A and B are shown apart, each in its own frame.
Chain A
């Protein structure tokens, strides 16, 4: 049944500890059983030595003073106000109240049933920690401003300010860890792991964890022939294990895993590797409860004081990418997260640079990302492509203003370079006087590109059509984007030129369906996955989006929107989106494995399955290119 009041009460409770630590469903149960009490000023809630009530109290409105009689005098122990808890004693121990409580001013209290809460305490260790801590502080004599804020001593409960439960949330882990003895053979252990569908097994003696083996150990140590399957697990296990006590939070788990570069943590009774094993926490368990690390990283970026810190954070972001991909988190999600981090880094670099100059920008401006960063598809460290637009200014001011922004851009690009985004070899950066322009100049530039398309110019300009606001004035950015769409609507022939250039991309497969590899140069015999497979999909998505006036940059998002706009071509665009996801993931993994941009793939290193997977992506490329030819009549301009 709908229960409007209970929902309202939940809304109040959920903002205050320890209720913020409790799941919503449980909290609603609590809310449904609350009693509301009203007390006039100086009315007594309970007296010192009264037998315990069946409820403890949270103040909804007003204030309550706690007092104690001693040495013939009344001492005021504390004054609690909105959101504070009191009357906790019966919850902790079955004794009469040690203090009295009276309304210090008119007060409305919520009575929380103790019987209900006893169960919650068992399931939420953090809640009981919190209650014990606040109970302890209540019995001191803390009525000074210094102590007032610390009435609730449990810091981790208080620090949960943002509404994301995730970081301080207890990490979920497997509470029935599978173990075997050190004398077990590798084969037996592998059988157990297969049967129980687990990717690790803990080696324990008398319930004390002494080592662990994972899928990876079996692969590296057995698969390679280094050890035999008849060897004992003792010989191949990783030892000692990294341990942690039971009430581990997601954040703590993440930090520990990162710090020790391990994929599993053993949860033990007292947190050392000398005590009983009670659970096993895998990296995978954490990823399931996230977007959490990215939150931590963006927070760190916000607090960064120098470029070295940014560099360090970006390295951590790479690790995160790798983890995500290994765990097959959807690529769309991964690109979003990484783009957010890259955007945050760029913003910070701009802020730091402005501080260095010591002078605010003279007029409003916008920092733009171009190309893959503009499309939010940047997973690896790639070249930086950016530009800057500033407000139109009077001629006599222009030099001054432009000099300021060039200096700023110089500093920003330098920082980005240190972080790991190499300078753009083609000089497409805001620090280039050609790409640091006023709004009017940018409009003219786009107009020229659209009106007068020449192959060379188009190749150069393509990257500018995927521009995205990173930092600065939203209006400047929108103004520019609107203008670009207007020009294209007036000169649709431009799209035909764009299509023509796109079709000139080298095809992925030869006549006999073999991969077309590079004929010479440094990457001879490698497959150029970027130019031959990804780029055609990116380009096609761009042209169709410009055609439909879609203000979307991301390739997957573009295809998804196109599925809506052109329902008759839904299948085609869907296959393109899927192919793009697979290829992007492939390229990123390649890049992470070989620590490069992932542009070239050595076909010989690919498994048969991977080759088939790649080839399956080429059909959509061919189809969408056919569609481009027809739609934009690219054959009419073959002669140019």
Chain B
């Protein structure tokens, strides 16, 4: 007989995810924390209608960006929006090797491992990823989340609620050379530079720890 109210049978990648993220002890020592800076390119801004085209990520550990620990994947499309092709340049039948959404998410979640996610306007990227996970009957993502927008606002100490800083704004403020805008990995790398610069400023004030960083955007990690 099928037990109606038994715990849902999750696929392995998701069980692994829950296990790794819950009660990770490494988070106590800042030098040991693996941050993964991510960015997604999407067909548009509608969580329900639009789809992820590409996910890019690069890891930071102990204040170093590790190119060898980076991730880049392109997703096959059913939904397609001509308008956004102009921005990210990913065509439906472009020449990148593409995989299904499911395959991409499994690889991405595996790549994340126990990392703390960093992004710019994180709620959008994570929102898109969560919608995609929902289609696989899992989610939402349980990793700790950081947003360079909030980190910056905390640091600058000015009017934290009203102003939204764009990635371009932050590149300007933190003097980061812009190239590769609007490729997922390119934006992820810019965000990574900004993250390094911001955290080094945090360090100047006092020893930096994850809780301080997480406190900058409590609404993301409720």
Contact = CB atoms under 8 A, between A and B. Distances in A.
Interface of A: 1-6, 8-9, 31-38, 40, 43, 61, 106, 108, 111
A54 to B, nearest CB: 11
Nearest to A110: B67
A61 B196 contact: no
Given A38-B197, A40-B200, A5 B63 contact: no
Nearest to A12: B179
A613 B56 CA distance: 61
Interface stretch (B149-157, B159-167, B180-188): B180-188
B189 A5 contact: yes
Given A2-B96, A4-B56, A61-B177, A108 B193 contact: yes
Q: Which 9 A-B pairs have the closest CB atoms?
A: A36-B65, A4-B185, A38-B196, A35-B64, A33-B68, A34-B67, A5-B185, A5-B189, A37-B64
Nearest to A6: B67
Contact of B58 (A5, A33, A40, A61): A5
Contacts, number: 63
A5 B185 CA distance: 6
Mostly, the B contact residues are mixed
Nearest to B201: A40
A4 B180 contact: yes
B65 A35 contact: yes
Contact of A33 (B67, B73, B197): B67
Interface residues of B, number: 30
Contact of B64 (A2, A3, A9, A111): A111
B35 interface: no
16 contacts: A2-B72, A3-B70, A4-B185, A4-B186, A5-B58, A6-B67, A6-B70, A8-B180, A32-B68, A34-B68, A35-B64, A36-B192, A38-B63, A38-B197, A43-B200, A111-B64
Interface string B34-76: 0000000000000000000000101000011111101011100
Contact of A8 (B64, B73, B189, B204): B189
Nearest to B73: A1
A38 B200 contact: yes
A111 B184 CA distance: 23
A2 B74 contact: yes
B175 interface: yes
A61 B180 CA distance: 17
Contacts of B177: 61
B97 interface: yes
Nearest to B175: A106
A214 to B, nearest CB: 48
Contacts of A108: 193
Contacts of B193: 36, 38, 108
